[in-house]
Amino acid sequence: MLSEIKFTLNGKRIIYQGDPLRRLLDVIREDLGFTGTKEGCSEGECGACSVIKDGRLVTSCIIPIGACNGSDILTIEGIRDTEKGECIISAFAEGGAVQCGFCIPGMVMAAYYLLENNPNPSEEEIRMGISGNICRCTGYDLIVDSIALAAKKGEELWKK
Amino acid sequence: MEEMMCYIPENLEEALAIMDEKDAIALAGGSDLMVSGANGTGVNPSFSRPVVIISNLPELKGIKKREDGWTEIGALSTSREIAESGLVHPLVRNAASLMGAVALRNSATIGGNIANASPKGDTPQPLILLDAEVTLKSVRGERRMKVDDFILGAKKTKLEKGEIITSVLIPPSSLTHCYYRKIGMRRANAISKLTISIGAEVRDGKVVDFRASSGAAGPKVIRSHEAESILIGKTLSELTEYKEEFLDAWNNAISPRAMPEYRRGTTRRMLSFFIDALSAGVQEGIIE
């Protein structure tokens, strides 16, 4: 039986010893202070709390930290200064994808996951890729265009 | 000290022992349980019974084809893994691929979807059409039964104290024609309003097997062997003659509570579309 949970957050080793039912989201935001990841619906439906767990996009509000032993977790803070992260974020700025900004960390994580697995997505594939991320400002079109721009600008970057 | 309410076993044997000892609830992907036990921001979820987090048990992972031709899906297989697997029947892959959205499909497991036994759950519906079975394990041993028998009604199953669903078994299928629809309010992140799977095996112009299963049209997924038998054994040219009798029988089998006219009418049209396509000699495969 595990008594502590070892995982990495943005490459840094973490040992967690509290309640295994604590939400990954609360560990990220409250315990470790990475507040880029947002809490929206708290039911795994809006995508604001999206992070990458072991290479897969997940909503951190519905994952207990007890399910994260041995996992590598990546949040917006872990990708924003990487080449790929910068590519998406600058495309979002250039494309006018951001209004209030609350959904954007989740959108960027969804875009990152999409482009990592599909370097050259169609518009339909982009829309499916962010179909679990709700934005109440933009109407999505500029976000979709910006992800297409990130795919185009990044080109070789996403094929690695 | 407060009694510990959550355990993280490292292997199945440890999991079964603690499940039995504590009369615990197993947590797999967490997508249903973490919401039902939620207490808000910064406050840890709580449950009426101890929780055993089985998310990382290696024994419950992977999808494989067995020597007897059955497909064995580890209970922790996620919707994405199922949707992407060439070993899984297209009807089940279809249902898995339309569940929730990207991130949910990376978390939600087939074992959890069955154990949750929501009438609107996406994967039990095609599994019941295919006569799929679940394997249940506890310290007392192993049981196997049809998913249709395991799910008793809305949120009710035959899961006994200390038991865990360890795998889902799908028998080899000889269906030649299949049809699947999920109707929701949106294309993604939609709780099903109505789902249906229909399958037929046509050999030399004769319907040797005919099945349907309706999801979200009653307290559990509905199959009616009585209605199905109306079409089994008929030739393709006889289908039109027996169609209305079948549709009436199916209409009597389903029991939608909310919006019954809509659910009955739509179910009827989907079944009618499939039967008409068969009569017209549509080619084998998934009928769109």
Q: What is the dihedral of CA B189, B54, A61, A115, to 10 degrees?
A: -60
- Residue matched to tokens 């865990």: B164
pLDDT bin (cut points 50, 70, 90) of residue A155 is: confident
Choosing from A78, A113, A135, the residue where a domain stops is A78
- Residue matched to tokens 């969804």: A110
Q: CA A43, A62, B170: angle at the middle one, nearest 5?
A: 100
Interface probe, candidates A41, A45, A126, chain B, greatest B C-beta count within 10 A: A45
Sketch the domain layout of chain B as residue ranges: 6-170, 177-286
Higher pLDDT, B262 or A160: B262
Residues A110 and A133 in one domain: yes
pLDDT bin (cut points 50, 70, 90) of residue A81 is: very high
Residues A84 and A73 in one domain: no
Choosing from A32, A54, A78, the residue where a domain stops is A78
CA distances from A120 to A13, A89, A123, B166 (A): 33, 17, 10, 38
CATH topology of domain B6-170: 3.30.465
Q: Where are the beta strands (DSSP E) in B121-277?
A: 133-138, 141-146, 151-153, 156-157, 164-170, 177-183, 194-203, 206-215
**A1 closest CB neighbour out of B5, B10, B107:** B10
Residue A160 lies in a domain: no
Q: Domain of A44?
A: 5-78
Q: Give, rounded to a whole angstrom, the gap between the first and last alpha carbons of chain A.
A: 38
Contact A132 B104 (CB under 8 A): yes
Mean pLDDT of A46-50: 98
Residues A74 and A85 in one domain: no
Q: What is the pLDDT of residues A86-129, one digit of tens each?
A: 999 999 999 999 999 999 999 999 999 999 999 999 999 999 99
Task: Inform me whether the C-beta atom of residue B14 falls under 8 Å from chain A C-beta atoms.
Answer: yes
Residues A92 and A130 in one domain: yes
Tokens of A127: 């829309």
Choosing from A78, A106, A122, the residue where a domain stops is A78
Interface probe, candidates A4, A23, A35, A112, chain B, greatest B C-beta count within 10 A: A23
3-state secondary structure chain A: CCCCEEEEECCEEEEECCCCCCEHHHHHHHHCCCCCCCCCCCCCCCCCCEEEECCEEEEHHHCEHHHCCCCEEECHHHHCCCHHHHHHHHHHHHHCCCCCCCCHHHHHHHHHHHHHHCCCCCHHHHHHHCCCCCCCCCCCHHHHHHHHHHHHHHHHHHHC
Residues A70 and A129 in one domain: no
Residue A101 lies in a domain: yes
Domain count of the fold of chain A: 2
In the prediction, which pLDDT does B91 show?
97
Spatial separation of the C-alpha atoms in residues B202 and B110, rounded to whole Å: 30
Residue A159 lies in a domain: no
Stretch 134-153 of chain A: residues touching chain B, C-beta under 8 Å: none
Residue A86 lies in a domain: yes
| CATH at residue A114 | 1.10.150.120
CA distances from B83 to A141, B22, B77, B223 (A): 28, 34, 10, 23
In the prediction, which pLDDT does A159 show?
84
Mean pLDDT of A130-147: 97
Could you give the ipTM of this predicted complex? Answer: 0.96
Residue A11 lies in a domain: yes
Residues A126 and A89 in one domain: yes
Residues A99 and A46 in one domain: no
Residues A33 and A89 in one domain: no
CATH topology of domain B177-286: Enolase-like; domain 1 (3.30.390)
> Exposed, middle or buried: residue B226 (CB in 10 Å: 0-12, 13-18, 19+)?
exposed
Task: Inform me whether the C-beta atom of residue A63 falls under 8 Å from chain B C-beta atoms.
Answer: yes
| CATH at residue A14 | 3.10.20.30
Task: Inform me whether the C-beta atom of residue A66 falls under 8 Å from chain B C-beta atoms.
Answer: yes
Residues A31 and A95 in one domain: no
How many CB atoms lie under 10 A from the CB of residue B8?
A: 26
Contact A70 B56 (CB under 8 A): yes
Residues A89 and A63 in one domain: no
Task: Inform me whether the C-beta atom of residue B106 falls under 8 Å from chain A C-beta atoms.
Answer: yes
List per-residue pLDDT tens for chain B, 288 residues long.
455 699 999 999 999 999 999 999 999 999 999 999 999 999 999 999 999 999 999 999 999 999 999 999 999 999 999 999 999 999 999 999 999 999 999 999 999 999 999 999 999 999 999 999 999 999 999 999 999 999 999 999 999 999 999 999 999 999 999 999 999 888 888 888 999 999 999 999 999 999 999 999 999 999 999 999 999 999 999 999 999 999 999 999 999 988 999 999 999 999 999 999 999 999 999 998
Spatial separation of the C-alpha atoms in residues B144 and B140, rounded to whole Å: 13
Task: Inform me whether the C-beta atom of residue A158 falls under 8 Å from chain B C-beta atoms.
Answer: no
Chain A CB contacts of B35 below 8 Å: 42-44, 62
Contact B100 A63 (CB under 8 A): no
Mean pLDDT of A134-154: 96
Tokens of B124: 């039990």
Spatial separation of the C-alpha atoms in residues A54 and A84, rounded to whole Å: 17
Residue A45 lies in a domain: yes
Residues recorded for chain A:
160
